Amino acid sequence: MNFQVDDMKVLGAVEGGGRTIKNIKETTRLDKGEIEKILEFLDQSKLIEAVEGKGIWGQRQYYFNATNEGSQKVGEYIEYLKNEWKKIIQFVTDGQRVELDDYMKENKFLVNMMLFFKIVNLPALGRLNLRFLIEGKHLCYKCKKDLGRFALKFSVSDCRKRGLKMPKGLTTHDDLCADCFDALPVR
């Protein structure tokens, strides 16, 4: 798939009935400039078509539809995501956590896209303890618990200051939750 994830989101939003930039913005939560660029690309690729009409103030406005080719592409992408989900479940059932981690590193945003296209939902991910597969959420490096905005967070420098033995692979971009930090042995 040489399509960027955001391209698929916008195409998915149009295919799902998002006719205006405002609709697409609500579904994708991308910024307007980004959406406009992607719409132009999708239009050139003949995956969507734009029809000129009038907005509520009589201003010129475009309405978007997916072409047959666009709908087909969304359908294929959903099939692809369903297969990928089966692969993830297989890793989990086989207890191949290292392989799963590697696979997710190569396929960033896969689970985010599954959520977007409703292949999986958050409660299901929660039940399977797979919420950590969602890219971009800030999670404790060790236990993969969500670190909310107001949660206590501990960094590499906190570990150094207290003379604690850091978990293997912890970088300056990572944080630990209070429980994991408290459980670290002294160096």
Minimum CB–partner distance for residue 85 and Zn ion (Å): 26
153 counts as binding Zn ion under rule CB under 5 A: no
**Pairing status of strand 48-54 against strand 60-66:** antiparallel
Residue 124 or 170 having the CB closest to Zn ion: 170
Q: What phi and psi values does residue 62 have, to the nearest 5 degrees?
A: -105, 140
180 counts as binding Zn ion under rule CB under 5 A: yes
Sign, CA torsion 53/56/57/63: negative
Taking CB under 5 A as the criterion, which residues in 125-144 touch Zn ion? 140, 142-143
88 counts as binding Zn ion under rule CB under 5 A: no
Residue 51 or 143 having the CB closest to Zn ion: 143
Q: Which of 84, 83, 100 is nearest to 92 (CA)?
A: 100
152 counts as binding Zn ion under rule CB under 5 A: no
Buried b (16+ CB within 10 A) or exposed e, 92-131: eeeeeeeebeebbeeeebbbbbbbbbebbeeeebeeeebb
N residues, the chain = 187
Element (H, E) at 5: helix 5-15
170 counts as binding Zn ion under rule CB under 5 A: no
Residue 45 or 155 having the CB closest to Zn ion: 155
* CA atoms of 96 and 83, how far apart (whole Å): 18
Minimum CB–partner distance for residue 143 and Zn ion (Å): 3
147 counts as binding Zn ion under rule CB under 5 A: no
177 counts as binding Zn ion under rule CB under 5 A: yes
Contact in structure between 127 and 150 (CB atoms under 8 Å): no
Residue 37 or 142 having the CB closest to Zn ion: 142
Give the binding range for Zn ion (CB under 5 A) out of 3-11, 76-84, 109-117, 176-184.
Answer: 176-184
Residue 100 or 177 having the CB closest to Zn ion: 177
| Residues forming the site for Zn ion (CB under 5 A) | 140, 142-143, 177, 180
